Amino acid sequence: MHSPDNIQYAMEVTKVLLEPDRRIDTFGDTRFEFQLLSELMDDAGQIRVRTGEVEAMRPRILRPDSMQEIELEGFGDKARERMDAVIEKWKEEGKDLAFLRYGFRFRSGRVQEEIIHDSMDVVRERVLEEARRVGNPARAVIEGVDDAWEVCIFKFAFEMIRQSWPINRFDFHRRGLL
């Protein structure tokens, strides 16, 4: 398990370099593809590129406060502890976590890894150039830390939820669900 300091560090340094063009659908499943760039801890000039997908299953019924938990599927053994630490950190920062009442479930697809022997600047530009050339509206490029990489993905997912929340709330109101 990562220390609170490691989780805090991962939260602070994680940057979304290229954000998907879409948001999380209110009444459907949403799949995002990601490329996470991280420098190996003890090997300067070696960048790990993780490629995978995160699927946000459509929000389910409103849950009581006692059941405010995001379901995780396909993540590592310590994912729940890391997710809980991220949520706790955001509570401490006073962020609005009302979206937790909507029963999100996240599923991670198989993650592939590649080590590239070059500087972060060169790899970052190459990956961003390729992502822009392909133009996939569901693609995200994220820069984060290697050892707590799942925290970086959780931060990205939470940011997508927070950005989608105003639209989702409007849709719920429109259908009389709020």
DSSP of 3-40, one letter per residue?
A: -HHHHHHHHHH-EEEE--S----SSS-EEEEEEEEEE-
The residue written with tokens 């996240």 in the block is 106
In a domain, 105, yes or no: yes
Q: Give pLDDT, residue 11.
A: 85
CB atoms within 10 A of CB 102: 21
| Domain count along the chain | 1
Q: Would you call 178 helix, strand, or coil by DSSP?
A: coil
Give dist(CA 131, CA 20) in Å, integer.
Answer: 10
pLDDT digits (tens), the chain, 178 positions: 567 777 788 888 999 999 888 766 666 677 788 999 999 988 778 999 999 888 766 655 444 444 345 666 666 666 667 677 777 777 777 766 665 555 555 556 678 999 999 999 999 999 999 999 999 998 999 999 998 888 888 888 878 777 766 666 666 667 665 5
Domain coverage including residue 19: 4-167
Pairing of strands 112-117, 46-57: antiparallel
In a domain, 82, yes or no: yes
Q: What is the pLDDT of residues 39-55, one digit of tens each?
A: 998 877 899 999 988 87
Q: Give pLDDT, residue 136.
A: 92
Q: Give pLDDT, residue 32.
A: 83
* Ordered DSSP codes for 41-105: TT-TTEEEEEEEEEEEEPP-S---GGG---EEES--TTHHHHHHHHHHHHHHTT---GGGGG--E
In a domain, 176, yes or no: no
In a domain, 178, yes or no: no
In a domain, 118, yes or no: yes
In a domain, 96, yes or no: yes
In a domain, 143, yes or no: yes
Backbone torsions φ then ψ of 4, nearest 5 degrees: -55, -35
In a domain, 173, yes or no: no
Q: What is the pLDDT of residues 159-168, one digit of tens each?
A: 877 776 666 6
